[in-house]
Structure 1
Amino acid sequence: MSLEESVKDLKNALSILTDRLSSIEDKIKDDGSGEDDLTKKLKDMEKLIKRNTKYADLLDVECNMPNMRGRLPPKFTTADLPKFKGTEHPAHHLRSFVQAMALKEVDASVFPAIFPSTLEDVARSWFFSLDPTRVSNWEDIKKEFLTQYSSNADLLITRRDLEVTKQTEKEGFTDFLARWRNKAAKMIERPPEAEQVDIFVKNLREPYKSHLRYAGIESFARLNKIGIQIEDDVVESTAKNQTKVCFKDKKNFASTSKGGDIVNTVEQKPRREFTDLGMSLSRALDRLIKEGYIKPIGPTPDPANKSPKWRENEYCKYHRGKGHDTDYCFTLRNAIQNLIDNRTIPLPKAARKPNNNKNPLGDVKPSHR
């Protein structure tokens, strides 16, 4: 006798025994002649039967698993198959699954065994709760799946969804743009790009909205570039305002002795003034390196936690790393100013008329940035 037949017989026997025990228990209750001890034993036996029934069900599931040996291509894996979380369009998921199977050259006969591995969370729980007879072949699985998640097809993103997706109070420009475009990508028929940009700008908060609304922007590439610049200014302005408030509180504070004499006050450190070099920082760096006055630092690796001002596509020759352009390197500007303040190099031509034979920065005409 095969394992499958044995499991079937065991389940039938347990079912019959459970029915008989229930009948005996009902008869004892009706007659009123049963003893508590006997009733307890019957209940214990019933619990034991139920546990064995669950075990038999597990064996039954194992017996019904198809033999996959020799039916899958070498190095086959389900890790890269499309996943369904319960909110996507069911027909789209089925199409993605079939296309993936075709690319992997998997025979359709094993689709029923592989398909559950593409379901996640609630969707997987739903599938395994079905009676195996309802999903015994691929056609039945498709029918059940499409029926269960048919309502998802009515939840597609519309133009109205884009129009009511607003930037939240604490949401930055880049975060909102990513969220809005992710929603727009789910539309079947999207408006033209210029029209999408117009909808997006109307949903921005200030100061982004007032700066971008009349800029005549028609592409997301340009919108993103300008929006990031505004976002950087907002971050910098917020930081400066917080510093001013903090300093104002400290400036107004003074510790006093018992006699009322002022003991200590906090004064603001004067902001450093930088000498006009008459050229870009990158050109000044090249000249100073050539003359041996300065050496690049680094190489500087990418930071683990990148600030909003960190730029992937900009490179600093002084730091020898990404994140900002050489011409906007604050560290380099301070290093050159130190050379000037220490009189290691004379004042550049833009600051005073120098001796060109001695000044490495003096023979270059000022550049306008």
Structure 2
Amino acid sequence: MPQVESYDGSKDPLDHLESFKTLMHLQGVADEIMYKAFPTTLKGPARVWFSKLTPNSISTFKELSTQFALHFIGGHRYKKSTTCLISIKQREDETLRPCKACFNKEALSIDEADNKVLVAAFTNGLQKGKFLFSLYKNDPKTMSDVLYKATKYMNAENALLACKEKPKKRERLEEARQERGRKIARTGDRREDR
């Protein structure tokens, strides 16, 4: 039997049902088999719920799905509106990478977000600087264009940081070498005093 992640009641029940049904339909499994196989994907509180169902009270997978979804609906993730994206702002001390990651995470929870709204919300939350200037200058039309430009900018940021870090690393290595030399000289001086 195809493997589906076990459901314990803490996540979205509709997501679990859809994953299970998709996998079963890909295998050409009939509803009668799905009805019998579904309990094998449950664990913990979800398995306890299933074991407490009155025997023979449910006879089809559709009925089982409905009862399952109704019981565990508290774990359902509701889609958010695009207004939640407006509150995402890049902090002054924050690089672009964590800001972009936060925005993407929230954007994924929105059902059918419009590209123009996504672009406007993202650019509105950015700190003033070279990247924001380049976005306004080039006027990207889609969020994928913005994300592509953001990735290029972040890669350039990382390269510049690495260039700055190399001299600092060399300086630290040189200081450590000099300190070792001083320690050796001090211990050597003590040996001569004996």
- Partner of 1:194 in structure 2? 116
C-alpha spacing 1:103/1:203, structure 2 compared with 1 (3 Å)? same
2:148 paired with 1:225: yes
- How far the C-alpha of 1:149 sits from its partner, in A, is 2.5
2:86 paired with 1:163: yes
C-alpha spacing 1:107/1:198, structure 2 compared with 1 (3 Å)? same
CA contact (8 A) 2:96 2:154 kept: yes
C-alpha spacing 1:82/1:177, structure 2 compared with 1 (3 Å)? farther
C-alpha spacing 1:237/1:198, structure 2 compared with 1 (3 Å)? same
Q: Deviations over 1:216-241 (max 9, x none)?
A: 22223432332233212211222233
Return 5+ residue gaps in structure 1 as ranges: 1-76, 259-369
- How far the C-alpha of 1:185 sits from its partner, in A, is 3.2
What CA distance in whole angstroms lies between the structure 1 residues aligned with 2:90 and 2:37?
Answer: 41
Q: Deviations over 1:298-339 (max 9, x none)?
A: xxxxxxxxxxxxxxxxxxxxxxxxxxxxxxxxxxxxxxxxxx
2:161 aligned to which of 216, 228, 238: 238
- Partner of 1:128 in structure 2? 47
What CA distance in whole angstroms lies between the structure 2 residues aligned with 1:158 and 1:87?
Answer: 20
Aligned length: 173
> What amino acid is aligned across from residue 48 of structure 2 in structure 1?
S
CA contact (8 A) 2:5 2:41 kept: yes
> Equivalent residues in 2 for 1:91-110 (5 A)?
93-110=16-33
Q: SS at the partner of 2:54?
A: helix
- How far the C-alpha of 1:98 sits from its partner, in A, is 3.6
> Equivalent residues in 2 for 1:276-287 (5 A)?
none
> What amino acid is aligned across from residue 87 of structure 1 in structure 2?
K
- Partner of 1:144 in structure 2? 67
Identity %: 14
Higher-Rg structure is 1
- TM-score, length-scaled by structure 2: 0.62
> What amino acid is aligned across from residue 186 of structure 1 in structure 2?
S
- Partner of 2:190 in structure 1? none
C-alpha spacing 1:177/1:105, structure 2 compared with 1 (3 Å)? same
- The structure showing larger relative contact order (alpha-carbon pairs under 8 Å, at least 6 residues apart) is 2
- Partner of 1:112 in structure 2? 35
CA contact (8 A) 1:83 1:118 kept: yes
What CA distance in whole angstroms lies between the structure 1 residues aligned with 2:148 and 2:77?
Answer: 35
- TM-score, length-scaled by structure 1: 0.37
What CA distance in whole angstroms lies between the structure 1 residues aligned with 2:79 and 2:148?
Answer: 30
> Of Structure 1 and Structure 2, which has the larger fraction of its residues in helix?
2
> What amino acid is aligned across from residue 78 of structure 2 in structure 1?
L
Return 5+ residue gaps in structure 2 as ranges: 187-194
- How far the C-alpha of 1:196 sits from its partner, in A, is 0.8
> Of Structure 1 and Structure 2, which has the larger fraction of its residues in strand?
1
